[in-house]
Amino acid sequence: MLTALTEEGKMVHLIYSKNIKYLSILRKNHSFYCPQCQEEVILKIGKIKIPHFSHKSNSTCTNSEPESEVHLQGKVDLYKWLKHIGFSVEIEKYLMEIRQRPDLFVRKNGKEYAIEFQCSPIQYKDIKRRSLGYFSLNIIPIWILGGEPYQKKFQLINNLFQLSDFQWAFTQYNRQNGMHIYSYSPKTKRVILLSQLTPITTRKIFAYQSDYPLSSLDFPFDFANDQLSIIDYDFWFYEKKNWIQNKMLFAKNLNDPFLSEVYHNKHSPLLLPPFIGIPVPFMTICKTNSVIWQYYLWLDGIESLSAGDKINLMNLRRNFEKRVKNGCIKLRDMPLIQIDFKNHMIYHYLKHLSFLGIIKELEKGSFIMNKSNSFPNNIEEVQRMEVELSKKLDIKS
């Protein structure tokens, strides 16, 4: 912590105190207490970390996890930056009603923001609990990950990253950047934006990474990103095939609910048409692979239709909900996203199908079958369709 109370109840901030001699005298003459739990805390003046307060090792305070140098430095940097650009900002403000202490508390134009600079992995349920706490007071939580946390998967494929469940939980949404995650590196003093998160598998994603010097930014962050084309379709279809083959290999066929449904409907998992399992906006909400949820959408509401039949969006949505309810489709836990994007995702999938000529959009939101579709008969046909589809989607994006 960078703040504590003295025995007289005076708040001590360590943000600007660099003078070790002064801090040593302060430490000699005062005791310090945690503003949250009132336990006595220790003023630590070391050579490695910046000066900070720390709970004793037997503390039960929820705020007593040891803080890393990155965390302390990040808090100081963000605080100074917000002050510098003219904001009212408080560090480690204790919000009594919800018993939480955001790293930074910011007011702007009548809105309140809680900034959490998170460097160590924490449980999903804690991210959720703390975010809901802020939402309950009409405070907008902004979570920033510490360091440069995203693992680049392969050097040869652009825009490919790997995210852990912990990192996924920090997904936020806005119009410019789609689903995105912020991080900040105190070492480089740069804010990193990972935008347009597009899951290939549970962990592997296509995304666009950009970074900006903290000093050049305004708050709240507003990155005007062009919607660039980030998807390598050759790689997409390669991964999709791998995923299906692995599933067939390891899922003990009929015990796997998805595969058994595919076989039951006289389809072959390797001969699904390429438009089942394509990247579409908002699909981040699904933890389940796009092959599965798009297959179910198709099977439950589209396959039986003939050319000219109307596709009922409400019906698709209902079927989708049913599949979620019985566990066939799993949604991703993203506590910072308060909007239900299921309709958006389904609509965008239909838009893609209509772009590919499989269905037709008569007016916004109203689709009909363009032609009866037959599934490919062999691998060569699948590959031919994939090449065609990649070309079309490449032009689209």
Which positions touch Zn ion (CB under 5 A)?
A: 34, 36-37, 61, 63
Closest separation between CB of residue 36 and Zn ion, Å?
A: 4
Cα–Cα distance measured from residue 137 to residue 146, given in angstroms and rounded to the nearest whole number: 25
Pick between residue 37 and residue 248 the one whose CB is nearest to Zn ion: 37
Listed in sequence order, the DSSP H helices in the chain are: 20-29, 69-84, 124-136, 165-168, 233-250, 257-264, 290-301, 313-325, 342-355, 379-396
Amino acid at 376: P
User: In degrees, to the nearest 5, what angle opens at C-alpha 113 toward C-alphas 112 and 119?
Assistant: 165
CB 194, CB 180: distance < 8 Å: yes
Task: Please name the residues in contact with 257: beta carbons below 8 A apart, sequence gap of 6 or more.
Answer: 327, 328
Cβ proximity to Zn ion, 36 vs 289, nearer residue: 36
Q: How far is the CB of 61 from Zn ion (least distance, A)?
A: 3
Using the minimum distance from each CB to Zn ion, give the nearer residue, 56 or 371.
56
Supply the minimum distance, in Å, between the C-beta of residue 48 and Zn ion.
23
Closer to Zn ion by Cβ: residue 34 or 302: 34
Question: Which residue number, 53 or 233, has a Cβ lying nearer to Zn ion?
Answer: 53
Alpha carbon 316 to chain centroid, angstroms: 26
Question: What b-and-e string marks burial along 289-323, b requiring 16 or more CB atoms within 10 Å of the CB?
Answer: bbbbbbbbbbbbbbeebeeeeebebeebbebbeeb
Cβ closest to Zn ion, residue 9 vs residue 327: 9
What share of residues in the chain are helix, strand, coil (percent, to 5)?
A: 35, 25, 40
CB of 211 to Zn ion, least distance (A): 34
- Quick one: residue 160, left, alpha or beta (phi over 0 = left, psi -120 to 50 = alpha)? beta
Q: How far is the CB of 217 from Zn ion (least distance, A)?
A: 32
Parallel, antiparallel, or unpaired: how do β-strands 178-185 and 139-146 relate?
A: parallel
* Distance separating alpha carbons of residues 52 and 276, to the nearest angstrom: 54
Please name the residue that has the structure tokens 């949505």.
317
CB of 94 to Zn ion, least distance (A): 10
Residue-wise over 238-263: b if at least 16 C-beta within 10 A, else e? ebbbebbeebbeeeeeeebebbeebe
Alpha-carbon torsion angle 233, 169, 330, 297, nearest 10: -40
State which residue, 95 or 248, has the beta carbon closest to Zn ion. Answer: 95
For residues 34 and 346, which CB has a smaller minimum distance to Zn ion in the complex?
A: 34
Count of residues making up the chain: 397
| Cα–Cα distance measured from residue 126 to residue 254, given in angstroms and rounded to the nearest whole number | 37
Nearer to Zn ion, 52 or 204 (CB): 52
Q: DSSP secondary-structure letter at 364?
A: T
**Shortest Å, Cβ 102 to Zn ion:** 15
Distances (CA, A) of 381 to 267, 385, 388: 15, 6, 11
**How near is the Cβ of 80 to Zn ion at its closest, in Å?**
24
In angstroms, give the least distance from the CB of 33 to Zn ion: 8
Output the smallest distance, CB 24 to Zn ion, in A. Answer: 23
Q: Which is nearer to Zn ion, 3 or 63 (CB)?
A: 63
